[in-house]
Amino acid sequence: MSFSHSKKDSFKNALENGYIRLFDYNTFDNPTKIAEGSCGTVFHANSKILGKDVSLKSLHGVNKGDEFYKKFVNELKHINAVNHHDNIINFYGVSIDHSETLYMVLQYAKDGDLRTYLQTNFEKLDWKIKINMAKDIARGLYCIHEAKIVHKDLHSKNILVHEGRLLIADLGLSKSLDTNSSSLSGGMIAYTDPAYLKNMKAYKRNKASDIYSLGILFWELSSGRSPFHAISCFEIYNTMIISGKREADIHGTPIDYINIYSKAWNDDPNQRPTIKDICYSLENIRLENVYNISNSNQLNQPNVDHNKPMEKYSKDTVSIFSDLEITDQERLDNVIKSNQIIQYGYNSFENIEFIGRGFFGGIYSATLKNENMKVVIKSTVVNPNSIELFVNELKNFSNVNWHENVIKFFGISQKDVNSEEYIFVLEYANGGTLRNYLKTNFRRLDWSDKLNYAQQIAKAIKHLHSYNIILGNLSSRNVLIHNNNIKISNFDTTKFTTKLTIDLLKSLRLIEYTDPMIFKIQGEFSRTKASDMFSVGILLWEISSGRIPYDSYFQNDLDKKISYIIEGRREKPITGTPKSYVKLYQECWDQDPKQRPNIEKITHDLEFITIIIESME
């Protein structure tokens, strides 16, 4: 019996035997979508049977195969283990709609998630209320740990607020402590155990990992804002997490409370307290002795750097843009004006739908109201360390003439004009990524089709290189298809990072396409046009095979994959591939960047190969 069948059968048996309550989907009134993420979608509805509002949560997984049932059964198991605790979201049962989509029927929290609640109500919260909120989270986590479960995804978006009480939700990433497999994904980076980030392949997140997340959450309760909110994910990883730096303490915070979260976010997992210790400390906290700038030397916080740019946050904290040199602000404004870059008001968009997740946040499709045109909106964070790069990229985007094989840049937008988050407004591609297109359509492609796609990729890169624009992140995930034509996106928000590390390349799943020089140098690496040529070589092989590079060898073993590439070893040619095409992509992925052809030679050779193939047909 296959894994998926055993999981599916056990799930059905649980329903049939009454271990899990099954609700008729038709007994829910007015299901309305209230949240959507990379793992699932949540609806608000009224249950006629329960006589109350509920949340209906589905998990993404259209084919309902191995991973879908694994995730669904996993979350059911963990919710059942801690059900009916006052500080954990209640589980009522499951439901199945007419399309056979499975839903968990959960308690509805009418005040939304903690992050949004703090943004709206922080000014009204005194320290007695904040401590009670911390106690709510701690009590819920105590129950979870007592059940020998690690949550692994604690953050303020899945702590819910209901009638003055906090509820821990979203046990989808949770794992029992007797599970031996390593965890390779999931979690929001600002709340994620640094020990895991330093060694994602080998390190198993544990109770101490949840304690670290709890420490970040406690700081968030003291500040009213999300951690590192003015810093990109890359910089959180490179500067704040790996270096051991943390957010600065907030003026007026009780020193006992600071000591609790400082111990919780200790860089060494072995030095963090248990949840039982934290619950005890919260019950015995003193509120009268508070932190201020003058008594900061009383604190013993080796992980906190009070000289970093984020110090001295208080209730009247303003956007990080107010801390920028005025020349930078003027430069940004001047670039927008002088290059005639269109600035769209955020209310110019309608029919906004989630389509994917980038490293900086969600990627959405939308309709421009006035033009009735479908577009993609993609966000990036701009701060003092990256504003110069951002200004240069805006110049590049606006100066590049439109090309049929390059995603068009229409302009920029902001949800909040005082925010450091900018939104790129881009052309929408209706055919998805090249990777997914090959997966679905490869058997129907002949060599004329494959060469046509290869040529279009080469033409797009030739056009960008003529403006001295280096892509640096070329892969089959950012080569898109629109009306059966190739569209390359050169809007690489990773260019706004301080340093491109191997760990980041792993997390971005770019190992296969990355110039081996970055692995050999083991440090800062300036990506060049030759780096793009290496990526082109891998892409040409992928077009010839229809497969993900190296996937049949290593799959998730990224360190072995890197070693394989450093040794100069590559994928084998596919039977039936024209020899001249094989020779071309092998030249592109040469270990020595100086030996790789330029894009002009690649374009010429592909045209020649196409002529030869057509003459043979």
DSSP 81-119: HTTT-TTB--EEEEEE-TT--EEEEEE--TT-BHHHHHH
Local structure of 605: helix, strand or coil: helix
Q: Are the CB atoms for 271 and 277 separated by under 8 Å?
A: no
Tallying the residues shown for the chain, one arrives at: 617
Give the CA count within 13 Å in the CB-facing half-sphere of 116: 12
Confidence check: pLDDT of 12 > 50 = yes
**What is the model's pLDDT at position 341?**
78
Q: Are the CB atoms for 60 and 40 separated by under 8 Å?
A: yes
Among candidate residues 211, 207, 184, 208, the one with its CA nearest the CA of residue 197: 184
Pairwise pLDDT comparison (169 vs 257), residue with the higher score: 257
Q: Is 230 exposed, middle or buried (0-12, 13-18, 19+ CB in 10 A)?
A: buried
Q: Is 425 exposed, middle or buried (0-12, 13-18, 19+ CB in 10 A)?
A: buried
CA–CA separation, 487 and 468 (whole Å): 19
116 CA to centre of own chain: 19
Q: Are the CB atoms for 202 and 167 separated by under 8 Å?
A: no
**What is the model's pLDDT at position 320?**
30
Q: Is 190 exposed, middle or buried (0-12, 13-18, 19+ CB in 10 A)?
A: buried
Give the Cβ contact number of residue 64 at 10 Å: 16
Q: Are the CB atoms for 309 and 323 separated by under 8 Å?
A: yes
Going 361 to 362 to 365 to 368, the CA torsion angle's sign is negative
CA–CA separation, 344 and 482 (whole Å): 24
User: What is the biggest distance separating any 2 CA atoms in the chain, rounded to whole angstroms?
Assistant: 87
Residue 82 pLDDT class (50, 70, 90 cuts): confident
Domain boundaries in the chain?
7-107, 112-291, 336-427, 432-608
Return the percentage of the chain with pLDDT > 70, whole number.
Answer: 72
- For the segment(s) 336-427, the CATH number from 3.40.50.2000, 3.30.450.20, 3.50.50.60, 3.30.200.20 is 3.30.200.20
Residue partners of 413: CB distance under 8 A and separation at least 6: 343, 344, 345, 346, 348, 349, 377, 422, 423, 425
CA–CA separation, 268 and 193 (whole Å): 10
Local structure of 371: helix, strand or coil: coil
Of 78-92, 167-181, 199-213, 349-363, where does the model show the most confidence?
199-213
CA–CA separation, 470 and 532 (whole Å): 7
CA–CA separation, 459 and 405 (whole Å): 7
Confidence check: pLDDT of 4 > 50 = no
Residue 533 pLDDT class (50, 70, 90 cuts): very high
Task: Find the mean pLDDT for residues 513-525.
Answer: 74
Confidence check: pLDDT of 499 > 80 = no
> How far from each other are the two terminal CA atoms of the chain, in whole angstroms?
47
Q: Average the pLDDT over each of 238-242, 417-421, 513-517 and give the range with the smallest value.
A: 238-242
At 108, give phi and psi (nearest 5°).
-95, 130
At 381, give phi and psi (nearest 5°).
-105, 130
Secondary element (H or E) of residue 191: none
CA–CA separation, 298 and 311 (whole Å): 17
Q: Average the pLDDT over each of 3-12, 99-108, 423-432 and give the range with the smallest value.
A: 3-12
**What is the model's pLDDT at position 8?**
62
For residue 614, the one-letter residue type is E
**What is the model's pLDDT at position 49?**
93
Give the Cβ contact number of residue 260 at 10 Å: 22
> Can you tell me which residue has the tokens 């607020």?
161
Task: Find the mean pLDDT for residues 151-177.
Answer: 82
200 CA to centre of own chain: 15
Q: What does the pLDDT look like over 225-275, one tens digit per residue?
A: 999 887 766 667 665 666 778 899 999 999 999 999 999 999 999 999 999
Task: Find the mean pLDDT for residues 381-391.
Answer: 66
Task: Find the mean pLDDT for residues 569-587.
Answer: 94
For residue 229, the one-letter residue type is H
Confidence check: pLDDT of 173 > 50 = no
Fold classified for 7-107: Phosphorylase Kinase; domain 1 (3.30.200)
Task: Find the mean pLDDT for residues 65-73.
Answer: 61
Task: Find the mean pLDDT for residues 312-328.
Answer: 36
CA–CA separation, 44 and 55 (whole Å): 5
587 CA to centre of own chain: 34
Give the CA count within 13 Å in the CB-facing half-sphere of 248: 17
**What is the model's pLDDT at position 491?**
61
Q: Average the pLDDT over each of 22-36, 99-113, 298-312 and give the range with the smallest value.
A: 298-312
Q: Tokens in use for 359?
A: 């490293």
**What is the model's pLDDT at position 296?**
43
Question: From residue 201, how far is each of 154, 188, 189, 192 by CA, in Å?
Answer: 20, 17, 16, 14
Local structure of 49: helix, strand or coil: coil
Give the Cβ contact number of residue 184 at 10 Å: 12
Fold classified for 432-608: Transferase(Phosphotransferase); domain 1 (1.10.510)
CATH number of 112-291: 1.10.510.10
CA–CA separation, 234 and 360 (whole Å): 8
> Can you tell me which residue has the tokens 């060898």?
553
Mean pLDDT of the chain, nearest integer: 80
7-107 and 432-608 agree in CATH topology: no
Give the Cβ contact number of residue 140 at 10 Å: 25
Question: With a threshold of 0.75, does the pTM exceed it?
Answer: no
112 CA to centre of own chain: 22
Of 87-96, 119-128, 319-328, 556-565, where does the model show the most confidence?
119-128
106 CA to centre of own chain: 25
> Can you tell me which residue has the tokens 């959405």?
364
Q: Average the pLDDT over each of 37-41, 77-81, 391-395, 587-591 and give the range with the smallest value.
A: 37-41
Q: What angle do CA 158, 164, 165 make, to 5 degrees?
A: 50
Burial 542-565, CB ≥16 within 10 A → b, else e: bbbbbbbbbeeebeeebeebbebb
**What is the model's pLDDT at position 467?**
84
Pairwise pLDDT comparison (498 vs 432), residue with the higher score: 432
Query: Is 378 among the annotated ligand-binding positions?
Result: yes
Residue 309 pLDDT class (50, 70, 90 cuts): very low
**What is the model's pLDDT at position 383?**
64
The DSSP output letter for 422 is E
> Can you tell me which residue has the tokens 């048996």?
13
Among candidate residues 267, 250, 264, the one with its CA nearest the CA of residue 213: 264
Task: Find the mean pLDDT for residues 570-588.
Answer: 94
Task: Find the mean pLDDT for residues 474-484.
Answer: 91
Confidence check: pLDDT of 308 > 50 = no
Pairwise pLDDT comparison (64 vs 396), residue with the higher score: 396
CA–CA separation, 450 and 571 (whole Å): 18
Pairwise pLDDT comparison (348 vs 324), residue with the higher score: 348
Task: Find the mean pLDDT for residues 4-9.
Answer: 55
Q: Tokens in use for 373?
A: 């045109």
